[in-house]
């Protein structure tokens, strides 16, 4: 499949609503994020539906537990044939290494293309004030870069981070390290529960490989038109 920079978040409570959105945006959107809400509601049925329609899938379950548990979970999720899976970088180096090893073993056993394995750094809903309550001794930006470097050390393909930190990650981790950025809002859109945000064009300019956009597209009167406008914006960012 071609490299698609826009990932649309299917944040729906039912399979029917998600399917309707995918069919509405079929001509424009080729990469979708399936998060906890939809996956818990629809399970593997939504993955099968997206693959039947030749879509790429980012399975966003943000795994975090002891290394053995995450390793076993990643082994199972790898079988689904999705294109990207994530864990929490704050789970630590050993947890991320175990996830990577488990995925590699499963890929070799099944003879399939490996999904990208990436790590969540700091949620884009958090600002500096909320971050300070957690008693970290660094700024959000410093913590994000530190976790990105740890993910790279663990052998992961990239990270999820705010577009505001993308430039720092790119500088610290190099050009081959994937940066996936939620917290992207077109000009004039409500920020909702996102805090560290930028526009689509600015996210790409900062170094993001993929931008994740949900409600500004999925709740629009014409989702495909909004998605098409975002695609045009990021393709002509210069």
Q: Which residue has the tokens 């695609």?
A: 231
| Main-chain phi, psi angles of 195, to 5 degrees | -120, -50
d(CA 119, CA 158) in angstroms, rounded, equals 6
CB 156 within 8 A of CB 84: no
Tokens at 200, concatenated: 């689509």
Q: Of these residues, 62, 94, 149, 205, which one is catalytic?
A: 62
Active site residue 62: yes
Helix (H, G, I), strand (E, B) or coil at 133: helix
d(CA 33, CA 228) in angstroms, rounded, equals 17
Residue count of the chain, please give it.
238
Instruction: List residues with catalytic annotation.
Output: 62
């Amino acid at each position: 499949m071609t490299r698609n920079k826009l990932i649309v978040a299917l944040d729906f409570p039912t399979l029917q609503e998600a399917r309707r959105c995918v069919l509405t945006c079929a001509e424009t959107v080729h990469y979708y994020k399936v998060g906890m809400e939809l996956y818990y509601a629809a399970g593997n049925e939504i993955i099968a539906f997206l693959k039947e329609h030749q879509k790429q899938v980012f399975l966003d379950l943000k795994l975090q537990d002891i290394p053995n548990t995450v390793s076993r979970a990643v082994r199972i999720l790898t079988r689904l044939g999705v294109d990207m899976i994530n864990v929490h970088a704050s789970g630590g180096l050993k947890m991320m290494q175990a996830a990577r090893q488990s995925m590699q073993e499963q890929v070799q056993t099944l003879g399939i293309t490996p999904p990208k394995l990436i790590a969540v750094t700091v949620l884009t809903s958090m600002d500096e004030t909320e971050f300070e309550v957690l008693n970290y001794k660094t700024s959000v930006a410093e913590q994000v870069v530190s976790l990105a470097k740890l993910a790279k050390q663990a052998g992961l393909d990239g990270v999820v981070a705010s577009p505001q930190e993308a430039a720092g990650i790119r500088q610290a981790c190099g050009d081959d390290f994937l940066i996936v950025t939620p917290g992207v809002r077109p000009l004039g859109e409500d920020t909702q529960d996102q805090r560290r945000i930028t526009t689509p064009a600015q996210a790409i300019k900062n170094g993001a490989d993929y931008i994740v956009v949900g409600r500004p597209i999925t709740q629009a009167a014409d989702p495909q038109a909004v998605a098409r406008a975002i695609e045009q914006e990021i393709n002509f960012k210069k």
